[in-house]
A and B are shown apart, each in its own frame.
Chain A
Amino acid sequence: MSQPKLQEKSREFPAVEISGMNRALAADIRKRSGTQFQRCFQCQTCANGCPFVQAMDYPPNVIMRMLQYGMEQEVLRCSTIWICVGCHTCSSQCPMGIDIAAVMDSLRLKAVEAGAPIAKPNILDFHEEVLRSLERYGRAHKLSIMWRYKMQTGRWFSDLDVGLKMLARRKLELRPSRVKNIGEITELFKCYWRESK
């Protein structure tokens, strides 16, 4: 192949067009997360470091790429955003300084707001049970969270041994620890509550 001529440096390259590109989503997530995910150049450091990548349908770098392409359905419906616990391994290792965990955070919220199908409904159920406990007591009461979570998911016998062990070691308090001025807490919940259930 012949060498490209140096003086041709200023020539124009054809634009890459991605059909159906949703710029609004990318702009929205950039604003919410406060991080510049368009810098991602697919080095995959995030995917290599993520402890949970095996359980995800797409590795974090693919989420970044899909966001850049505006693939709204895929990013809002994937399991990756729910599996992510926000341990920030990716954010701390990204050579481009992208706070990838903040992007996941924003995508989760967006998915709930947009009413997208949730790839890991059990995780959403769990978060909702935690919030129910916070609304009622102002503090997390693990026993009632797990009880209600089991009712939601019907997985009664999974993990029974661990639950019993925790009860035996008095690690699951029977009575919740409560906030006295609970009115101040319930007021906070007015800003958001999922309508169903």
Chain B
Amino acid sequence: MSRRPYLNFSYFPGCSMATTATEANESIKKAAKVLGFNLMELEDWNCCGSSSAQTMCKNLSLGMAARNLSLAPPGWPLVAMCPRCLHYLRSAQECLRASPEAHHALEDHWGRPIPLDLEIVHFMEVLVRHGTDRLKKNLKRSLQGVKFVPYYGCTLFRPPRMQKEKYFQGEMENLLKMLGAEPAPDAYAYRCCGSFLSATDPEVVTPLVNEIIDSAVAARANCIVTACAMCQLNLEIRCTSKVRLPVFHFSEVLALALGAEDYEEWWPRHIVDPRPLLEELKLVA
């Protein structure tokens, strides 16, 4: 582990974190700052391409993701929080490695190098690798009483391409346990949230989301913590179960434990108000 006070990373927020889930974006920046990670937002980043480009045109999908790689400053690992963005950025890099022609064509086109050894990592991996001491040192509010389902969703380690990289199973539990929270893992933690079907075919998604939430209630959790901003949204807007649980972004819970004070901006953006739970646990005033 480096002894430098600040570790430098370039940061790819992605469309969800930049718009619908700004609370996740604000809290990740806050947590990173406390932990001594310098997250420098990628200058003029664009959408990773998402499922839609992947569905409609492989070249477009590659081009969208690769442009981001061409913007990354050399030597700084590129950090993403959204599992899908991470997946598409890594896939593009893998594709360029396999196809030197496509690689050179895009480099020539933009007049910028696209380094094939650029490290693309998930924020959670940054924490596991550099943050465990820093987490303990900077703990301001113990998360005692928070009993959470670690909801990873489908993309963080399931696609065969991602399995060649780091595996995150269990890391969310390890990290939040360090901060005093208690995991309730006996629930649907990896079940797909419905993705874009939530927009096109909500009647398909609602029963699935209800099963996920109901399983969390049955596991006696008092909240769900997600690794993905789209999952967070789908679990909130598509749930029709009687008993509902607050659904936090991982970065919100992290920043809260690290002493963030601007959380008042975050909670009103939730559909299921987490304030009663947090007040009951005396985590917020």
Residues of A within 8 A of B (CB): 51-52, 54-55, 83, 85-89, 91-92, 99, 101-102, 105, 108-109, 112, 120, 122-123, 126-128, 130-131, 134, 138-142, 145-146, 149, 158-159, 162, 165-166, 169-173, 177, 179-181, 184-185, 187-189, 191-192, 194
Which DSSP category, helix, strand, loop or mixed, fits chain A's interface? helix
Q: Are A185 and B58 interface neighbours, CB within 8 A?
A: no
Residues of B within 8 A of A120 (CB): 200-201
Q: Are A140 and B50 interface neighbours, CB within 8 A?
A: yes
Return the chain A residue nearest B64 by Cβ.
A188
Interface 1/0s, chain B 66-106, versus A by CB < 8 A?
01000000000000000000000000000000000000000
Q: Are A177 and B158 interface neighbours, CB within 8 A?
A: no
Q: Are B201 and A122 interface neighbours, CB within 8 A?
A: yes
Residues of B within 8 A of A181 (CB): 44
Among candidates B15, B160, B200, B270, residue contacting A139 with C-beta atoms closer than 8 Å: B15
Q: Are A180 and B67 interface neighbours, CB within 8 A?
A: no
Q: Does B159 have its Cβ within 8 Å of any Cβ on chain A?
A: yes
Q: Does B218 have its Cβ within 8 Å of any Cβ on chain A?
A: no
Using known A-B contacts A52-B197, A92-B158, A123-B196, determine if residue A130 contacts B46 with beta carbons closer than 8 Å: no
The CA of A90 and the CA of B154, in the complex, are separated in Å by 11
Return the chain B residue nearest A132 by Cβ.
B52
CB within 8 Å of A: which B204-229 residues = 204, 208
Among candidates A123, A131, A138, A142, residue contacting B20 with C-beta atoms closer than 8 Å: A142
Among candidates B21, B46, B63, B201, residue contacting A55 with C-beta atoms closer than 8 Å: B201
Q: Are B52 and A131 interface neighbours, CB within 8 A?
A: yes
Residues of B within 8 A of A184 (CB): 67, 110
Q: Are A134 and B55 interface neighbours, CB within 8 A?
A: no
Among candidates B47, B60, B270, residue contacting A169 with C-beta atoms closer than 8 Å: B270
Using known A-B contacts A169-B270, A192-B59, determine if residue A142 contacts B64 with beta carbons closer than 8 Å: no
Residues of A within 8 A of B44 (CB): 179-181
Residues of A within 8 A of B170 (CB): none
Residues of B within 8 A of A (CB): 15-16, 18-21, 44-47, 49-60, 63-64, 67, 109-110, 154-155, 158-160, 163, 191-192, 194-197, 199-202, 204, 208, 233, 237, 268-271
Q: What are 24 A-B pairs with beta-carbon distances under 8 A?
A: A51-B208, A92-B160, A99-B160, A109-B58, A120-B200, A120-B201, A123-B197, A127-B52, A127-B56, A134-B49, A138-B47, A139-B19, A162-B237, A165-B237, A166-B237, A166-B271, A169-B268, A171-B233, A172-B20, A179-B45, A180-B44, A185-B64, A187-B109, A192-B60
The CA of A52 and the CA of B197, in the complex, are separated in Å by 10
Using known A-B contacts A177-B18, A184-B67, determine if residue A123 contacts B200 with beta carbons closer than 8 Å: yes
Return the chain B residue nearest A134 by Cβ.
B47
Return the chain A residue nearest B193 by Cβ.
A87
Residues of B within 8 A of A194 (CB): 56
Using known A-B contacts A123-B201, A177-B15, determine if residue A130 contacts B50 with beta carbons closer than 8 Å: yes
Using known A-B contacts A188-B60, A191-B59, determine if residue A87 contacts B154 with beta carbons closer than 8 Å: yes
Q: Are B158 and A126 interface neighbours, CB within 8 A?
A: no
Q: Are B154 and A88 interface neighbours, CB within 8 A?
A: yes
Closest 9 CB pairs of A and B: A87-B192, A192-B57, A87-B154, A130-B52, A85-B195, A188-B63, A140-B15, A127-B52, A138-B46
Residues of A within 8 A of B19 (CB): 139-142, 173, 177
Residues of A within 8 A of B199 (CB): 126, 145-146, 149
Residues of B within 8 A of A189 (CB): 60
The CA of A195 and the CA of B113, in the complex, are separated in Å by 33
Return the chain B residue nearest A93 by Cβ.
B158
Return the chain B residue nearest A86 by Cβ.
B51
